[in-house]
A and B are shown apart, each in its own frame.
Chain A
Amino acid sequence: MYVYDQYDQQIVEERVKQFRDQIRRYLAGELTDAELLPLRLQNGLYIQRYAPMLRLAVPYGNLRSEQLRKLAQITRDYDKGYAHISTRQNIQLNWPELEDVPDILAELATVQMHSIQTSGNCIRNTTTDQFAGVAKDELIDPRPWCEIIRQWSTFHPEFVRLPRKFKIAVNGAVRDRAAIEVHDIGLEAVKNDAGELGFRVLVGGGLGRTPIVGSFINEFMPWQHLLSYLEAILRIYNRYGRRDNKFKARIKILVKALTPEVFAQKVDQEWQHLKDGPLTLTQQEVDRVSQYFTAPAYETLADEAALLASLSAEHPGFGRWRMRNVFEHKQPGYAAVTLSLKPTGTAPGDITDKQLDALADLADRYSFGEVRTTHNQNIVLADVRQADLFELWGELRELGFATPNIGLLTDIICCPGGDFCSLANAKSIPIAEAIQRRFDDLDYLFDLGEIDLNISGCMNACGHHHVGHIGILGVDKKGEEFYQVSLGGSSGRDATLGQILGPSFAQDAMPDVIGKIIDVFVEHREEDEPFLDTFRRVGIAPFKERVYAANH
């Protein structure tokens, strides 16, 4: 993964100094709360329900073992011994003290980490496929492009007082595992007839209060022009995006108001001025960044199909885990492994200091010292030898990482919700747990197949509920916590937004509601059909009927 040179390091260190002084001035009364607000947010610092929350940047989800160890130490020294993986692949600390934050940042800087632009009205962490560089269906490795975008967007002088937050995602594979269509900008790598690389550019997608699937405004932007084209989009947004109403300030509202066609024309007019200027990317820079993302020193190995099949037969638990948590690798003899952070009874995405330390060791021993965080709030070891899988599985079980539920109903995406977040309408973690408890029969879960269940504690949709096959949204009903359910969302290619089932439910009704939805699915399912396909075939009516049927 990317390694800082002296420039990157200096920027991060100067940031620590700058922020330390901002906090000093705040504590000395020289900065008001309102004046500090955007400054601290752009450094990932929220003032939460019970304590501040600090969101640390994990650029496109990549971490090295030394960084994991530092994170473990930070959670011990400054927090309560655990951290949380967010749906933007970042890491959150729930209990730091405001006064300690500059010191935490100084510690992070020693391992090339920071919290720059993890919140606030600026360009956020660029996200991508957790299987970047190892997926079989990959056209290009998106990570160098994410890094190039990271550098361009870090402290961009013109775009740090935007109307609203701004999220970019990049996909380089056939399957879209980065949910690019629900981002402010989605970039998809494509090749033209001459075999040259470019990007298909989508704008105006997003979740939140006005969920919308974005529109592609450019089918092929040659890679050399990527940054100038992004700059043109951001400039149009910065100048013309609405600032009078926070809920109408995202770029999606501007794109919709102008229509995607007119928006595209405006961008193109702006781009004509920027095109071929100093922002034009050079092969030299792409090569410089790409050298950090070359394949690790793989051994020449053969696939171990027979060995793994016999181990699976002998150890059904291993077989199940392999089926759900092991992902095909493009290098023969290797596999990518997802560590589930969704065992029942733990808040989805939470990881303790001990687990972080252990993870660092696993990364060193099994996967070239690196891990990735995923937007589904799990962790990936991307380069494991197939011959080591069985042994690794044993270690993961001891550490609580081996729940074989990746992609299943209990692999719930869940925001921190009312237990932590001051914006929440309702708690989300207890709902996740109640559903996990209800569906604790692994065989049954396996039979149900892939179901994305996503929970957000409010409209801000940090839990991506609109694009869950089953989405749950916390709402406020006369001061009580209620939950609205939607069905049929999807974040993949041709993303769709879920349809709302009907009136909301009380917390204790939720496991039954989900139970009924699953029953209807099972009754209508044809063979091994996935939930989403059944839903698309039969529509929402049978689900509605069952869930709202008068009790008899």
Chain B
Amino acid sequence: MQRIIKNGVVVDESWHLLPQDTPFESVSNSDDVIVPLSMWLEHGRALTVRDGGLGVWLESDEQIEDIADDLQHFQVIALNFPVFTDGRHFSSARLLRERYGYKGEIRAIGDVLRDQVFLMHRCGFDAFAIRPDRDPEDALQSLRDFSVTYQAAVDQPLPLFRRRAQPA
């Protein structure tokens, strides 16, 4: 069973990430599933009346605007990184949190490596499916790489210049 980082601890993963070409008919009624965006766009209504938990996942070139009106249906939104250098979903995560007010889990999937998790966490990711050949316990340590940051982001609503200005 895969182990992933969730809210700062490593836990066993119980959700099923359904690959892109999964036939809708094969989706179990009671499992917790994360479906590809295309399936959600086609079968959204049917997916919301299942008994199991529901999440959706997006490729790196898919836009969160496509699900912006549906967020209440998802316990998990997983954002895929085909390569760890692809930063598009750093923006997606911030937008989900800061613009669309999404409160559920935002999970990084794909080529997710230790040296990105600090930044991802700042952008609003709270779950990390670290690439299976790497140890999530190791990756956990990098969530603490920096104790001071200049910018406002999801983890820190004020930029440093506003915090500096506050009396200690």
- The docked-state distance in angstroms from the alpha carbon of A121 to that of B123 is 18
Q: Does A158 contact B145, Cβ atoms closer than 8 Å?
A: no
B-contact bits for A57-81, CB 8 A (1 contact / 0 none)? 0000000000000000000000000
| Closest beta carbon of chain B to A270's beta carbon, Å | 10
B85 and A38 form a contact (CB under 8 A)? yes
Q: Which of B84, B148, B149 makes the CB contact (< 8 A) with A35?
A: B84
How extensive is the interface on chain A, given as a class? Answer: 35 or more
- The listed residue (A22, A39, A159, A288) touching B87 by CB distance below 8 A is A159
Take A152-B159, A158-B87, A158-B123 as given contacts and tell me if A22 and B115 are in contact as well, using a CB distance cutoff of 8 Å: yes
Please, which residues of chain A bring their CB within 8 A of the CB of B148?
7, 10-11, 14
Say yes or no: A161 contacts B115, CB within 8 Å. no
A14–B146 CB distance below 8 A: yes
Bound: A31/B118 CA distance, A:
17
The 8 A CB mask of A200-215 against B (1 = contact, 0 = none) is: 0000000000000000
A161 to B115, CA, bound (A): 12
Q: Does A110 contact B (CB under 8 A)?
A: no
Chain A residue with Cβ nearest B158: A278
Q: Is A384 an interface residue (CB 8 A)?
A: no
CB-CB nearest in chain A for B141: A21
Contacts of B91 in A (CB 8 A): 158, 235, 238-239
Contact mask for chain B residues 46-82; partner A; CB cutoff 8 A; 1 contact, 0 none: 0000000000000000000000000000000000000
User: A11, A157, A273: which contacts B123 (Cβ < 8 A)?
Assistant: A157
Q: Which of B5-13, B37-45, B160-168 contacts A (4 or more CB under 8 A)?
A: B160-168
- CB-CB contacts below 8 Å: B109-166 with A: 113, 115-116, 118-120, 122-123, 142, 145-153, 157-162, 164-165
Does B90 make an interface contact (CB < 8 A)? yes
Distance from B165 Cβ to chain A, minimum over Cβ atoms (Å): 5
Q: Does A154 contact B (CB under 8 A)?
A: yes
Q: How many angstroms from the CA of A162 to the CA of B87 in the assembled complex?
A: 6
A157 and B165 contact, Cβ closer than 8 Å, known pairs A10-B148, A238-B91:
no
Contact residue among A160, A239, A282 (Cβ-Cβ distance under 8 Å from B88): A239
Question: Are B119 and A160 closer than 8 Å at their CB atoms?
Answer: yes
Interface residues of A (CB under 8 A from B): 5, 7, 10-11, 14-15, 18, 22, 31, 35, 38-39, 121, 148, 151-152, 154-162, 227, 235, 238-239, 243, 273, 277-279, 281-282, 284-285, 288
Can you name 10 A-B pairs with beta carbons within 8 Å? A5-B164, A7-B160, A148-B161, A152-B150, A238-B87, A243-B86, A273-B99, A277-B152, A278-B162, A285-B161
